């Protein structure tokens, strides 16, 4: 059995019952279950539809996300999440670069790296080098004035933690940011790169080894082994090329508002919903969400 989930953005669009019923009838699905009125609904089908991606393409024009996944094992025991442009709405290195006066140059490199056009480690080294001499205190300023959480993140963490799931934040960004974001959202642990400083200023170097795509896979392997759970028990979420390894290995890998080349390699794509989409994908109804 498979479950078909339809999702809209909770703030800007509406999922019409007539649309859900039309697709359910076309695919011979079971009764529609509304996880949240106007936002999320699901129904079961016996087999994976042959025209899934043609329908997906049409629904994207209506700002509706469509996911088809196996019914068994949807509820996960662990959340593995990227940070930049996933749990927060910004890329931290781009915000630091703005403060350093090299924003445009760094943002271009970031975009190309996240789209898989550049080697991640080389791109990170180049970008950090452009921050040399920036006052270390700017990090706290950026955290306070420039960093905002991705909508739905607090509810996602609170609900999964309430259901006894483990939560790990694994970023190609920096510990100075992941530590603060992890603490704010309630992650159990966080891993990221460390910016090196001297005399209160950034040196323009990052501590090695650099945490990139391979390190995110290692985190998946190490944490699941430590917890005694299977990789199939993990729901992972990210948006960049360096996330593809962990997204492919996790039981459910979610490309969230991802770069086109990244989304093209993932079966679970959320382009319009917020982070609560990860709860709906697991079959949680809104009235099961934890309070925040």
State pLDDT tens for residues 236-258: 999 999 999 999 999 999 999 99
Q: Can 84 be counted among the known catalytic residues? A: yes
| CA gap 52, 55 in Å, rounded | 5
When pLDDT is cut at 50, 70 and 90, the band that residue 192 belongs to is very high
| CA gap 36, 57 in Å, rounded | 23
**Amino acid 113: pLDDT:** 86
Q: What mean pLDDT is predicted for residues 181-205?
A: 97
Burial status of residue 91 (CB atoms within 10 A of its CB: 0-12, 13-18, 19 or more): buried
Query: Which residues, including other chains, have CB under 8 Å from residue 31's CB and lie 6 or more apart?
Result: 43
Q: What mean pLDDT is predicted for residues 200-220?
A: 94
**Amino acid 87: pLDDT:** 98
**Amino acid 259: pLDDT:** 86
Query: Active-site residue among 65, 84, 94, 239?
Result: 84
Question: What pLDDT, in 10s, does the model give residues 149-190?
Answer: 999 999 999 999 999 999 999 999 999 999 999 999 999 999
Domain with CATH 3.30.70 in the chain: 1-72
To which residue do tokens 């082994």 refer?
225
Q: What mean pLDDT is predicted for residues 131-140?
A: 96
Contact 210, 121 (CB under 8 A): yes
Mean pLDDT of the chain: 96
Q: Can 239 be counted among the known catalytic residues? A: no
**Nearest Cα to 170, choosing from 261, 267, 86, 74?**
86
Domain with CATH 3.40.50.1000 in the chain: 75-292
What pTM, to 2 d.p., does this model score?
Answer: 0.95
* H or E segment and range at residue 8: strand 2-8
Q: Residue 267 CA to chain centroid, in angstroms?
A: 14
Query: Which residues, including other chains, have CB under 8 Å from residue 36's CB and lie 6 or more apart?
Result: 10, 280, 285, 286
Query: Which CATH architecture group holds 1-72?
Result: 2-Layer Sandwich (3.30)
Paired tokens of 140: 């706290």
**Amino acid 278: pLDDT:** 98
Contact 262, 117 (CB under 8 A): no
CATH topology of domain 75-292: Rossmann fold (3.40.50)
When pLDDT is cut at 50, 70 and 90, the band that residue 116 belongs to is confident
| CA gap 70, 49 in Å, rounded | 12
Q: Evaluate if residue 27 carries a pLDDT over 90.
A: yes
When pLDDT is cut at 50, 70 and 90, the band that residue 193 belongs to is very high
Query: Active-site residue among 21, 38, 82, 108?
Result: 82
Contact 63, 83 (CB under 8 A): no
Based on DSSP, count helices (H) and strands (E) in the chain, helices before strands: 12, 12
**Amino acid 69: pLDDT:** 97
| CA gap 263, 216 in Å, rounded | 18
Question: What pLDDT, in 10s, does the model give residues 30-53?
Answer: 999 999 999 999 999 999 999 999
Q: What mean pLDDT is predicted for residues 193-213?
A: 95
Question: What pLDDT, in 10s, does the model give residues 52-62?
Answer: 999 999 999 99
When pLDDT is cut at 50, 70 and 90, the band that residue 12 belongs to is confident
């Amino acid at each position: 059995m498979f479950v078909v989930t339809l999702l809209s953005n909770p703030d800007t669009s509406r999922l019409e019952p007539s649309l859900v019923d039309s697709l359910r009838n076309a695919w011979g699905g079971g009764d529609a279950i509304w996880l949240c009125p106007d936002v999320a609904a699901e129904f079961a089908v016996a087999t994976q539809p042959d025209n899934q991606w043609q329908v997906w393409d049409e629904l994207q024009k209506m700002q509706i996300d469509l996911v088809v996944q196996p019914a068994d094992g949807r509820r996960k025991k662990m959340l593995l999440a990227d940070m930049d442009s996933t749990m927060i709405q910004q890329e931290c290195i781009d915000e630091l670069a703005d403060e350093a006066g090299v924003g445009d140059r760094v943002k271009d490199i970031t975009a190309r790296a996240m789209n898989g056009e550049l080697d991640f480690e080389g791109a990170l080294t180049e970008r950090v080098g452009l921050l040399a001499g920036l006052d270390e205190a700017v990090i706290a300023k950026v955290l306070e004035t420039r960093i905002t959480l991705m909508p739905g993140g607090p509810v996602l963490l609170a609900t999964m933690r309430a259901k006894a799931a483990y939560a790990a934040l694994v970023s190609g960004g920096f510990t100075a940011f992941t530590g603060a974001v992890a603490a704010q959202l309630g992650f159990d642990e966080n891993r990221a790169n460390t910016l090196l400083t001297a005399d209160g200023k950034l040196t323009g170097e990052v501590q090695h080894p650099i945490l990139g795509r391979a390190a995110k896979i290692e985190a998946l392997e190490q944490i699941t082994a430590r917890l005694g759970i299977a990789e199939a028990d993990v729901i992972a979420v990210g948006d960049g090329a360096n996330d593809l390894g962990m997204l492919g290995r996790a039981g459910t890998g979610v490309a969230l508002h991802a770069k086109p080349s990244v989304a093209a390699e993932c079966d679970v794509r959320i382009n319009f919903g917020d982070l609560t989409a990860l709860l709906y994908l697991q079959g949680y109804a809104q009235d099961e969400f934890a309070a925040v």
